């Protein structure tokens, strides 16, 4: 596995960088690919990836990141183009909703509070959040769904 890493890492990094134009993202993509390969390598003795397999994994992961960024940019552009629709004419209403949201977040119990903090304030992925809090990624996703459901419910009650 080590020879596979030393042989292909520079080429895979270059390919990811070409697609993403971001060194940090490219390094993350290649690291994710090798992490998946290592897990599969350890679980299946017959698994021996070749270069096309590795490049395909890097391409697919890079495209996934680009699609996600594109969706975020479209959403931000739509909100910026229609601030009166997104926030209403009255900024006081927005401030009240924001205060209520802050109060509800402060009421969260552990691990919900830590999960929200890691994911949104420290900009960690679900995987990184799970590792830092000794949880599974699935548990982090479930907690996030529960948190948002509770926050939506609380905001609807106040209106």
Chain-centroid distance, C-alpha 138 = 13
Least confident of 44-53, 65-74, 112-121, 130-139: 44-53
pLDDT in tens, 28-53: 999 998 888 888 777 666 666 788 88
What residue has token string 């926050």?
151
pLDDT at 11: 92
Residue with tokens 């205060």: 99
Q: Band of the pLDDT at 6, cuts 50, 70, 90? A: confident
Query: Residue 150: exposed, middle, or buried by beta-carbon count in 10 A (0-12, 13-18, 19+)?
Result: middle
| C-alpha–C-alpha distance, residues 120 and 135, integer Å | 17
The helix (run of H) or strand (run of E) holding residue 24 is helix 23-43
Residue 78 has pLDDT above 80, yes or no: no
- Please give the mean pLDDT across all residues of the chain: 80
Average pLDDT, integer, range 111-139 = 84
In the block, tokens 């909703």 appear at: 97
């Amino acid at each position: 596995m080590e020879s596979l890493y030393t042989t292909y890492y520079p080429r895979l990094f270059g390919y990811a960088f070409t697609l993403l134009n971001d060194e940090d993202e490219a390094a993350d993509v290649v690291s994710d690919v090798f992490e998946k390969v290592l897990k599969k390598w350890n679980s299946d003795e017959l698994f021996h990836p070749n270069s096309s397999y590795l490049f395909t994994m890097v391409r697919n992961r890079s495209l996934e990141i680009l699609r996600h960024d594109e969706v975020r940019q479209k959403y931000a552009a739509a909100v910026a183009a229609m601030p009166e629709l997104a926030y209403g004419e009255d900024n006081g209403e927005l401030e009240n909703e924001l205060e209520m949201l802050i109060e509800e977040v402060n009421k969260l119990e552990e691990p919900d509070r830590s999960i929200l903090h890691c994911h949104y304030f420290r900009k960690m992925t679900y995987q990184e959040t799970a590792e830092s809090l000794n949880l599974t990624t699935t548990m982090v996703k479930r907690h996030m769904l529960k948190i948002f459901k509770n926050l939506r419910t609380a905001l609807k009650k106040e209106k």
